[in-house]
Each structure stands twice: as structure tokens, then as C-alpha cells.
Amino acid sequence: METRAGDPGAFAHFDLHRVPSPAFVVDVAKIRANLMRLADVKTRSGAQVLAALKAFSMWSLGSVVTHYLDGVCASGIYEARLGREEYGGHVTTYAAAYKAEDLPEICALSDHVIFNSPGQIARFADTLAAERAKGVQFSVGLRLNPEHSEGEVAKYDPAAPCSRLGFPISQLRAEHMLGVDGVHFHSLCEQDFPPLARTWAAVKPQLAPYFSQLQWINFGGGHHITRADYQIDDLVQFLRDVAAETSAEVMIEPGEAVALDAGILVGEILDLFDNGMAIGITDISATCHMPDVIEAPYRPAMLHEGAGAGGAAPVRIGGPSCLAGDVIGDYFLPGGGHVGQRIAFLDQAHYSMVKTNSFNGVPLPDIWLWDSETDALHRVREFGYADFKGRLG
């Protein structure tokens, strides 16, 4: 999978020695620029724009996010709590399945509660009615599987055959829509506007009979709106047209777009040796710090000291864990690199930060916030042994 981002932007001038290693560094100025672009879509289209916490949930920036956007979308009870506590604004919650004991709190936290199947809505009908009888206000939604694939990688394609995500739209019947206020689609991944237009064209005929009852339509995430080549004017017109045709409120849930090209992961080369090619061991682990590198897989772009120097040689960069496949990729480093050399992987604010783990006891990266406009830099979070030990009993 080829990454769709990786522009160093202001990080091209950031001294990688200003932070300890390993460390995530997030540029709040770039976050603001991304949010302004999303806010422009919101203003011109009239659609609600929600930040997907599953992609980027650095809650110290919660007030910045909701200054520009309408709120957040959550993937379960913990993200819903975080959204309500630290972001404010609208909270939409969707999960593939809910636990009965969690649902009352989810209803209290959420403006929209989206279910994965009509069967769940029916099973929880009494709970939903009881919460409303208490005065809790929320809207019920149903996630539909458009059965129209646009994803490049099957494991990231919610519309892949036999997907567990969303009720197949071909099976939708009038009885399934009883008590449903809105519908949710999500079938994109790092994509521009045409895949969204094609998805809507595929589902519209089957959804049209229910337009009169729909209060809202949520087109989910995967929209790379803040990428330089995204067709923003087409998206704006599309959202306006759907709202006019259906008389429903229209919503989108960008995740990556909020933090696109806004963060790096800084590391250091700890050792170099030869095994058929130069091997570099770093304190950055693909499996612990950048799982998508293995899951997708993809090769992230790199910044390093000595950029532009001659005599670059290939080095296979891998992490310190015992997993044989803990390999980030092959990179050309000036002189073949050296022990102590600082490197940084680009576009790591989204997904990498929320997916980190401490397998093998590999330390978690610190989190730093940098403002490229003022050059202000401060540490938001430091992790240590207590964080590793506290996860296990």
C-alpha cells in the first residue's frame, strides 16, 4: 500500500535532537490548517463535519478541534466519554456491537447512537425506550454496508465480501427501518471524492424509498479532504445536493484528514551490521509504534540527518522487538547511516499514536506538541515503566 501523504512541511526544518527518542511530535499549526480546510467544507456545504477519534484522539487539542468542527465520532464507550469530556459539541457513537451494560451510558453520552444491524436495535428496544423515558435524548442510526468496494486493501475495506461492518443494503427491508432516524455508510480509506460519488450512486436506488423518514445521512470517514489534490468543490456540491434531494442533514467523519502530515515519529539508530545488506536497529518498532506498517503493509516516508549528503547507501530499518517481521523498510541513508543518527517517519500523528503498544516491553514514545509558527515546543505526555507494568497484573 502506497502512503498518500508524507509531505515534511515545516518538519523539514525541525531539529530532531530537540526531543528525546522515541517521540511523537505533532505540529499544532498544521492541525489548525487542516481544520480550517475542513471548516470551509462545513460552511460552504452546510454539512456537519465530525472528527473521528479512532484516527486521532490527542485530547489536549480537543478544544482546537471543536473550535472548527461540529464535534466527534466515537467507536465505543471510552471514545464517547473522551469526546464528551474533552471535545464538546456533537458526539456520534458507532460500534460493531454493544454490551447491554454499556448502552445506557452510551445513550447518555451520544447525540447519535448507530447500530450495526437491525437485530441489535430490536434486541435493545426496551433499553432505548427506558433511557428515553428518563429524559435521555439521542437519535438511533443504522450502519449500512453499501456492498460497493472502493478500498485498495481488503483488510481496510468495510465493503469487502463477508464484511462484519454494516447491514448489507441488498437485505434492507421496511421493517428494518422501524425506529431508525438516520443511516451511516463508511467504505473509503485515504480516498478522494470520486469513490464517494460512486458509492452514493450504488446505494441511492436502494435507499431512495426511505428518504422521507431519514433525519440524517452520515457518509462516514476515509475522506482525504486535506490532501492537496482533493476535489473540495465537488465534495461541497455533492453534500449540498444530497441534503436538498433527501431533506436530511448530511454528515461526514474525517479522521486522517484532521492530522494529515501533522506529526512525525522521531527515533535513533542504535546499531548497524551487515547481513546481506546493511541492517539498522532503531528504538522505533513497527509492531509497537506503527502497526499499520505491518498490517497494510506500507512504507512510511523518512526524514533523517544529513539529507542531501552524497554517498547514500541502502539500510534495512527495523525495530528492537523480537518479532522477526518488525521491519519498517529499506531506506537510503548518507554514508549508510551511523549509530546515534536521528531519523523521523512522516505523517505519523493519525492512527500510529492511537495504536501504540508495549509488546516486549518496548517503551512507548513520548508525545510532544510543536507550533511551527511560533516554534513553541512542550511535552504533552511521557511514558515509563509504570505505564508498561500497569497494563498487566
328-363 pLDDT tens trace: 999 999 889 999 999 999 999 999 999 999 999 999
pTM to 2 decimals?
Answer: 0.95
The 10s digit of each residue's pLDDT in 373-391 is 999 999 999 999 999 999 9
pLDDT of the residue at 306: 67
Most confident range (mean pLDDT) of 149-163, 269-283, 296-310 is: 269-283
3-state secondary structure of 134: coil
Q: Domain for residue 2, yes or no?
A: no
Residue 233 belongs to some domain of the structure: yes
Burial class for 389, CB neighbours closer than 10 Å (0-12, 13-18, 19+):
exposed
Model confidence pLDDT, tens digit, residues 193-224: 999 999 999 999 999 999 999 999 999 999 99
**Is residue 1 predicted with pLDDT exceeding 90?**
no
Domain check: are 139 and 277 in the same one? no
Q: Last residue of a domain, which of 217, 240, 259?
A: 259
pLDDT value of position 304: 86
239 and 314 housed in the same domain: no
Q: Which of 233, 259, 285 is the last residue of a domain?
A: 259
Residues 250 and 293 in one domain: no
- Name the strand (E) or helix (H) holding 84: none
Residue 367 lies in a domain: yes
Of the candidates 355, 349, 222, 346, which has an alpha carbon nearest to the alpha carbon of residue 290? 355
Confidence class for position 155, pLDDT limits 50, 70, 90 = confident
**Co-location of 144 and 19 in the same domain:** no
Instruction: Answer yes or no: is 35 within a domain.
Output: no
pLDDT reading at 393 higher than 90: no
Q: Last residue of a domain, which of 259, 274, 300? A: 259
Q: How high does pLDDT run on average in the chain?
A: 95
Close Cβ partners of 192 (under 8 Å, ≥ 6 residues apart): 224, 227, 229, 230, 231
pLDDT of residue 3: 60
**Which 8-state DSSP code applies to residue 358?**
-
What's residue 355's pLDDT?
A: 97
Residue at 39 is within a domain? no
Q: Which residues pair with 51 in a beta bridge?
A: 72
Domain count within the chain: 2
Domain CATH code at residue 217 = 3.20.20.10
Tell whether 211 and 112 lie within a shared domain.
yes
Percent share of the chain, pLDDT over 70: 97
CATH number at residue 325: 2.40.37.10
Q: What is the dihedral of CA 33, 34, 37, 39, to 10 degrees?
A: -100
pLDDT (tens digit, 9 = 90+) per residue, 224-265?
999 999 999 999 999 999 999 999 999 999 999 999 999 999
Domain range for 301: 9-25+262-390
Confidence of residue 2 (pLDDT cuts 50, 70, 90): low
* Same-domain status, 231 and 368: no
Residues 100 and 242 in one domain: yes
If asked whether residues 21 and 161 sit together in one domain, one would say no
| Domain co-membership, 225 together with 273 | no
Query: Mean pLDDT lowest for which of 72-76, 102-106, 107-111, 333-337?
Result: 333-337
Between the CA of residue 346 and those of 7, 223, 267, 280, 309, what are the distances in Å?
A: 7, 19, 12, 18, 20
Q: What is the pLDDT of residues 281-328, one digit of tens each?
A: 999 999 999 999 999 888 999 998 765 445 688 999 999 999 999 999
Task: Tell me: pLDDT of 35 over 60.
Answer: yes
Question: Coil, helix or strand for 187?
Answer: coil
- 116 in any annotated domain: yes
Q: Are residues 180 and 240 in the same domain?
A: yes
Burial of 393: CB neighbours in 10 Å, binned 0-12, 13-18, 19+: exposed
- pLDDT attached to residue 310: 54
* Residue 172, pLDDT above cutoff 90: yes
Domain shared by 60 and 160, yes or no: yes
Do 114 and 179 fall into the same domain?
A: yes
User: What is the rounded CA–CA span in Å between residue 263 and residue 287?
Assistant: 19
DSSP 267-334: EEEEEEEESSSEEEEES--HHHH-THHHHTT----EEETTTT-S-EEEEEEE-SSS-TT-EEEEEEEE
Using 50, 70 and 90 to split pLDDT, how confident is the model at 154?
confident
Give residue 152's pLDDT band: very low, low, confident or very high (50, 70, 90).
confident
Confirm whether 37 is domain-assigned. no
Q: Does residue 332 lie in a domain region?
A: yes
pLDDT band at 56 (very low <50, low <70, confident <90, very high): very high
If 0-12 CB within 10 Å is exposed, 13-18 middle and 19+ buried, where does residue 321 land?
middle
